[in-house]
Amino acid sequence: MSETVQVVAADRAGDRIYLDQQSPAAYQALVKAADAVRATAAEAGLDRILLELVNLRVSQLNGCAFCLDVHTRAALRAGETTRRLGVLAAWRDTELFTARERAALALAEATTHPADALAQERACAQAREVLDDDEISAAIWAAITINAFNRVSILSKHPVRETPAR
């Protein structure tokens, strides 16, 4: 690769490469996977707010500022409240989330931390009480997908910038 191309693909503030720009075909494949997961979730009956809660909780666990910004705005557009978003990190300690949301959040956490076998067993048992197989599968796929996007954004150091007022 030429030095000019490397400079274009590298983060100007450091030595990181914007993976989405450096390897656009791979990134577009991930975008298509996310589109398929959203369609699968909709077919299974999981609404957009529940998916955004999964996206946000996984992004909180991974510390992905870029994805937190994107999915907070998406959740608000979908009708989520600032109150629930404000306590999402402590969802177990509130009564603000439905049983279905709680089950999906537990699955999201277990998917993000797969080495915790006990948490996986608890999350699956909780999910079985309120979600069917299609909903469970869709929630897990949503968590898998946002975990992948988190890694792209974190490793690329995608910036969160102030957007101009309109």
Residue 87 has a pLDDT of: 98
Question: What is the SS3 assignment for 81?
Answer: coil
Strands (E), the chain: none
Question: What is the SS3 assignment for 163?
Answer: coil
Spell out the residues 6+ positions from residue 22 whose beta carbon is closer than 8 angstroms to its own. 9
Residue of 118 and 4 predicted with greater confidence: 118
Residue 12, pLDDT > 90, answer no
Residue 94 has a pLDDT of: 97
- What is the Cα–Cα distance from 42 to 76, expressed in whole angstroms? 18
Question: What is the SS3 assignment for 10?
Answer: strand
List, in sequence order, every residue forming a beta bridge with 10; answer none if it has no partner. Answer: 17
Nearest to 17 by CA among 31, 33, 1: 1
Residue 11 has a pLDDT of: 43
Separation in Å, CA 126 to CA 62, 78, 156, 166: 23, 26, 35, 44
Spell out the residues 6+ positions from residue 162 whose beta carbon is closer than 8 angstroms to its own. none
Residue of 144 and 16 predicted with greater confidence: 144
- pLDDT tens digits, 97-153: 999 999 999 999 999 999 999 999 999 999 999 999 999 999 999 999 999 999 999
- What is the Cα–Cα distance from 53 to 103, expressed in whole angstroms? 11
pLDDT confidence tier of residue 16, bands split at 50, 70 and 90? confident
Kindly report the number of other CB atoms within 10 A of residue 153's CB atom: 24
CB 59 within 8 A of CB 150: yes
- pLDDT tens digits, 27-53: 999 999 999 999 999 999 999 999 999
Residue 165 has a pLDDT of: 63
Residue of 3 and 83 predicted with greater confidence: 83
